[in-house]
Amino acid sequence: MLKNSHPEAPSQNNKNNTQGSLHGTWASRWTFILAATGSAVGLGNIWKFPYIAGENGGGAFVLVYIACIAIVALPIMVAEVTLGRMGRQSPINTIRNLIKESGASKSFGVIGWMGVSAGLMILSYYSVIAGWALNYIEYMISGVFQDVTAEQAGTIFDDLMKDKNELIFWQSLFMLMTVVVVMCGIHKGLGLASQILMPLLFLLLIGLLVFGYQQGDLTGAFNFLFGFNFGSLTWQSVLVALGHAFFTLSIGMGAMMVYGAYMPSNTGVFSNVLMVGVLDTLVALIAGLVIFSIVFANPSIESSAGPGLMFVSLPVAFGNMLGGLFFGTIFFVLVSLAAWSSSISLIEPAVAHLVESKGFSRITASLLLGMVTWVVGLGSVFSFNIWTEVKIAGFNFFELIDFITANIMLPLTGIFVAIFIGWFVKEKMVQEELSGDNQGLSCVWRWTVRYISPLAVAAVLIMGIYPRMT
């Protein structure tokens, strides 16, 4: 284990944990599981997964996605959590210290830096979309979607996109919510938020599933998501599935590394990571079932709708169902809560770094980083209205940040993480950290991160960028 570079680092109040982080340690393995699931379950599960499953033909895509989670993403998540727990600091300092200890090349320091910057960049646009969800809570409550047609719902969405002041208002509110939680620290902020938000989220989701069962076409949704029709599967959809496996499990930017740094030492890594993977996948599948059962119950709506599925098709469906506005409100509360527990993990690695290295207080660090991210986010707001014509390499600002982070930075960091822990960090140190885990599993994992993960992710990276370049 590494020395903590902070002489003043308090010994943690967690009695079982001999080695803690300066920032605190999760109260138990369950807080880790809830917090990590909170990070993983977000807009990726509820907004993105259902529409990419729809666009890629449903069933077969779901199967490939699950395979990507199990074979590639979970091993990298184990790698991140293990590295984090070995270092017990922000990703930047954890990687820096592990490089020193193992004599590896300083270039691996890029893992920490790229991760922390990717987190802030993702948060900049994530807070804009989460802001739409907040606004839709208000729309549902005030009944603007009552009995609307698809055209009218489209107009409501388009009008919102054109109204930059409205977008900025909701983006700012969401950013403030994020900063307030992170400001309150590991126990009273992130830990407490996860302990409240996650059970609530599961409850709301189950409620919506019951609504989908009673009022919607759950059988149709089930057949769509689990009817394995391999004819519609393309090589491109395999790539989409792998890219999404990264995004949905929050890997490739140090979020899981920093959550691992706060994990008690007296618990295994594999079982906890597996739990997070299972919960995340369950939420994505249930969200898919809910959304499609509601959309399919209204035959006039196109189900292939793409990114507008959640903000156009779904509100139309809700607006035309008995009790729809009430459950529609619940739905957008669910989306906002899920986005909230994810956004705190996007900013935490950077906050931890400023506290450790620059001597900032947690409050100052959170406020400062929140401000910077908010300003960058304005670029995404403007790309839906006054900057729609401003294009760099064919992308508007929002698309550019999304493309650079999700398709380049996350997979790159993922490859480096796998190579670093698989080939460079001393095997003995890794084994020691995983000594509480099943040793057979540990061997299989090691082999996977050395060979399978880097190659698979490299394939995604190249195939994802290449078509854009030619």
| CA distance to 9, 85, 399, per residue, from 19 (Å) | 10, 9, 42
Minimum distance, C-beta of residue 253 to ligand TRP, in the bound complex (Å): 4
Quick check: 121 and 406 in contact, CB under 8 A?
Answer: no
**Any contact of residue 345 with ligand TRP (CB under 6 A)?**
yes
Instruction: Check residue 329 for interaction with ligand TRP (CB under 6 A).
Output: no
According to CB under 6 A, which one of 17, 93, 248, 366 is a site residue for ligand TRP?
A: 248
Q: Which of 178, 190, 193, 186 is nearest to 370 (CA)?
A: 178
Angle, alpha carbons 163-152-327 (nearest 5°): 90
Site stretch for ligand TRP (CB under 6 A), options 65-73, 137-145, 177-185, 251-259: 251-259
Instruction: Report CA dihedral (416, 417, 418, 420) to the nearest 10 degrees.
Output: 80
Min dist. Cβ of residue 215 to ligand TRP (A): 27
Stretch that binds ligand TRP, among 9-17, 164-172, 245-253, 296-304 (CB under 6 A): 245-253
Give the nearest distance from C-beta 123 to ligand TRP in angstroms: 8
Piece of 6-14, 34-42, 202-210, 286-294 that binds ligand TRP (CB under 6 A): 34-42
Residue 376: exposure state from Cβ atoms within 10 A (0-12, 13-18, ≥19): middle
Query: Following DSSP, what letter does each residue of 381-398 receive, concatenated?
Result: HHTTTTTTT--BTTB-HH
Residue number, 156 or 310, with CB nearest to ligand TRP: 310
SS3 217: coil
Q: What angle do CA 460, 353, 173 make, to 5 degrees?
A: 80
Cα-based distances in Å from 243 to 224, 240, 311: 22, 5, 23
42 binds ligand TRP (CB under 6 A): yes
Rounded least distance, CB 126 to ligand TRP, Å: 7
Residue 120 interacts with ligand TRP (CB under 6 A)? Answer: no
Q: Is 373 in the site for ligand TRP (CB under 6 A)?
A: no
Evaluate whether 187 touches 148 at the Cβ level (below 8 Å).
Answer: no
250 binds ligand TRP (CB under 6 A): yes
Q: Does 243 bind ligand TRP (CB under 6 A)?
A: no
What is the distance between the alpha carbons of residues 249 and 48, in angstroms, rounded to a whole number? 13
* One-letter amino acid of 233: L
Residue 111 engages ligand TRP in binding (rule: CB under 6 A): no
Report which residue's Cβ sits closest to ligand TRP: 44
Output the CA–CA distances (angstroms, integers) from residue 213 to 202, 207, 356, 454, in the order listed: 16, 10, 50, 42
Given 4, 12, 17, 39, the residue binding ligand TRP (CB under 6 A): 39
Supply the minimum distance, in Å, between the C-beta of residue 124 and ligand TRP. Answer: 13
Residues of span 408-447 touching ligand TRP by CB under 6 A:
410
Q: Is 127 in the site for ligand TRP (CB under 6 A)?
A: no
- Which residues in this chain contact ligand TRP in the complex, by CB under 6 A? 39-40, 42-45, 122, 247-248, 250, 252-253, 255, 342, 345-346, 410
